[in-house]
Amino acid sequence: MIHNSLVYDKAYSFAIRIVNAYKYLSINQKEYILSKQLLKSGTSIGANIAEANGAISNSYFSAKISIAYKECLETKYWLSLLKDTNYISLKAFNSIHADADEISKMLFSILKSSRIIQ
């Protein structure tokens, strides 16, 4: 399992960034729809990693990491959409998207390893 791991810590820090981005988008940009989707998917990454930490089987662990990975991909989609509709700057996009990309690569690596073991 990956309790207290680097990917968990990065996902938690990322969730904080997502919450702050949501606050900025809803208060300053008056954008409520896309930002809510971003909030849901961006905070779900860490939540699914936390659930994976309590897995009672390898298959449950793998399923939760898979969901975290997919949520990360969805988050990258919403970030791209927010950038391309001018709700977030290119600089902000590049910074937060790079974090999402790093987490998704870590999750994919964990997912590959967990499926090989089974």
Domain with 39 in it: 6-117
Asked if residue 67 belongs to a domain, the reply is yes
Asked if residue 17 belongs to a domain, the reply is yes
Q: What is the mean pLDDT of residues 31-50?
A: 98
Asked if residue 1 belongs to a domain, the reply is no
Q: Does pLDDT of 41 surpass 50?
A: yes
Q: What's the whole-number average pLDDT of the chain?
A: 94
Check which CATH number belongs to the domain holding 70 and give it. Answer: 1.20.1440.60
Asked if residue 89 belongs to a domain, the reply is yes
Asked whether the beta carbons of 107 and 83 are under 8 A apart, the reply is no
pTM: 0.92
Structure confidence at residue 118 (pLDDT) = 47
Asked if residue 112 belongs to a domain, the reply is yes
Asked if residue 28 belongs to a domain, the reply is yes
The CB density around residue 39, as the number of other CB atoms within 10 Å, is 20
Which pLDDT tens digit goes with each residue over 64-73? Answer: 999 999 999 9
Residues 6+ apart with CB under 8 A from 109: none
Q: What is the dihedral of CA 79, 82, 88, 89, to 10 degrees?
A: 80
d(CA 7, CA 9): 5
